[in-house]
Structure 1
């Protein structure tokens, strides 16, 4: 597997475009379209929040009930969440308009929205945006990059990645883009993710691969403890690579899953590192666990702790906060056997051994914690299972961004 330049347009047969429709923002693009030259099999995973935005409900119908999907329409600025029956009417109208201009079936159009909850969409602007998007579709890397920028809200950078790998002697490509910065919490987050691949794979295994990988990627990200109404990850496969159909869990399926995990994990790190107001990506690894579930529980507890997050912001090796967060997680372990390390581009340091402070330099620890990417590694010495969670530090800017978000 090889990382390459690009995002959703990297795979054969996929195009993208962006437009400034003036939905909420002025002077910037706020709509994106992804289109496949041929119908795709589609998979999706969605928010666990009981309050689900209309696009989530629409996309669940398309993914679970339609044989194929061929286009995605996404707007930023307004979430189309908590908009009543009118919200579903917006989704249907968006899909109908896209179907008309693209010459595809309405039930082959996926829709996504992100932004302020409770505001009504302006359908005249959505439809005008689609009229701009369709003729601008392009398969270039730049078109994909501009689409990634168009779906941003409080994000500070576009997020995309692409890889190539081999299946059955054929070169297969997978690319993705996502948005997410705030209202990010495990079990899907306030994020939209769109992944495209030219692999030839059955719809059933595509869905299984995505659903399984979500557990170790998007469900392991937390910025602020809030699970959104709009979380959606869509995976489209159009079979244009020409590889033998993947319809059994063989070595080809394993290679596909490895590539999918690489794409998803990269996007997750980008989301966590761009958390609202964040100055650092904070990664938590639990190793030596007895079970995977135990490792997941512990890593999530640490990465979501406000006290730990503020310590990371202050470049403070306050290891007691980490052990405390592990202790109230609900997972059972012996605190007197825990070893704890901090690691970054500046080096690695052990700050706790067998549950008590190690002999370490505070100055060296501060240097390590001052990097833009910081990892805490806790070894609980109970087995060979492990898990990784991603988050960020908690800064003053998080409050500034969210205190006036609607304005």
Structure 2
């Protein structure tokens, strides 16, 4: 059961993008599991991919294709990751791209493949290629919502968000969808996400915009500490709107960045809210660090600790687990007397020890809530960062124990 998360309302179309979702029976019959996204000529795309050394065949191929030509199509399947499949897996990804290119009249390099699902299973190429004519015929600018559902695996709720912002040159719109529920931990993106804007954006600015947005969204979430083999995030700019951006520090560029940040942050938090078996949404805010990197180190030590996460599930204010995580995060010369920890608005640790006026009842009241903030002040600088995570419940174990059955 996702934590205060519902499926998005109608997502705003982006001029120059059309989508179709079809059922290929990749893993389960009767549900859409292949998405085709078409980008009109003249559009641009930027992307970031997993840093997992065992990256999936489609990740390797998408990187290669993106480096050679502007994409015309994104081909996404759920139910099968096409990872850990060696040479046959690469051949399968290439075959899907080649057949779509033949049908659409473009070069295979203009197709970016993406897969998500079970690792180590052969990709059913014939099932995917068989539905490509139907997908091409069904392309629709309003296809974002159905696409958000089709890319789901263990997700319980489709994830999407749209924003429209005014600029002196006219409005710009950003729409995005994402999937992710488990195997979520940043070493790039930790999920699949596709975000598009109708603004015209230079290639350099587009890549910078995506990387900036990642730093405050998809690279600040964790569900279980595992980085997927298939992570990818793509930012598309069609150039069919009223706004042009060459410099992100210009007024239009700042507006674009804020809009992309908004969409990515909303999608990232939705992934955590829908974490496998999640019952609590937890914000870990670390401040008073020497730099943002050490704040992130402490935040992740807390956010990925199984002992901390199970305490949240039990609504147990076992603050010693949080303090232990801060201690083993590995900061040099940490002054324990300067460390303060708050649970919600309740100070639980002051000067490296239990706060004198703290009571178990205060902590229990905070831990019983569905949304909880842990705030740590390291007392050694001015840097800060925020990480979002969820609890570990019985259902997390059940979902992952039964994932392949």
TM bucket normalised to smaller: over 0.9
TM-fit CA distance, 1:247: 4.5
Residue matched to 2:351: 354
- Find the partner of 2:30 among 27, 30, 44: 27
Residue matched to 1:144: 144
1:51 paired with 2:80, answer: no
The 1-side partners of 2:150 and 2:322 are apart by 37
The alignment of Structure 1 onto Structure 2 pairs a total of residues equal to 396
TM-fit CA distance, 1:377: 1.0
1:406 paired with 2:404, answer: yes
- Provide Cα deviations, 1:307-366, integer angstroms capped at 9, x if missing partner: 1111111111211111111111112332222222223xxxx3222222222323433432
Residue matched to 2:5: none
TM-fit CA distance, 1:190: 4.2
The 1-side partners of 2:151 and 2:197 are apart by 20
**TM-score, structure 1 normalization:** 0.92
- Find the partner of 2:117 among 115, 118, 129: 115
The 1-side partners of 2:336 and 2:274 are apart by 32
The 2-side partners of 1:263 and 1:328 are apart by 34
- Find the partner of 1:125 among 105, 124, 127: 127
For structure 1, list consecutive stretches of 5 or more residues without a partner in the other structure: none
Residue matched to 1:259: 259
3-state SS of paired residue (2:216):
coil
Residue matched to 1:76: 78
Residue matched to 2:372: 374
3-state SS of paired residue (1:15):
strand
- Find the partner of 1:96 among 95, 98, 117: 98
- Find the partner of 2:388 among 372, 387, 390: 390
Residue matched to 1:154: 154
- Provide Cα deviations, 1:232-252, integer angstroms capped at 9, x if missing partner: 111111111132342464333
The 1-side partners of 2:351 and 2:101 are apart by 62
3-state SS of paired residue (1:118):
coil
TM-fit CA distance, 1:214: 2.1
For structure 2, list consecutive stretches of 5 or more residues without a partner in the other structure: 1-7
Distance 1:383 1:6, change over 3 A: farther
3-state SS of paired residue (1:391):
strand
Does structure 2 retain, via aligned residues, the 8 Å contact 1:189–1:226?
no
The 2-side partners of 1:255 and 1:385 are apart by 25
3-state SS of paired residue (1:69):
coil
1:271 paired with 2:271, answer: yes
More divergent stretch after superposition (324-333 vs 232-241): 324-333
Distance 1:129 1:360, change over 3 A: farther
The 1-side partners of 2:379 and 2:224 are apart by 29
TM-fit CA distance, 1:49: 0.7
Distance 1:132 1:342, change over 3 A: farther
Does structure 2 retain, via aligned residues, the 8 Å contact 1:274–1:281?
no
Does structure 1 retain, via aligned residues, the 8 Å contact 2:225–2:304?
yes
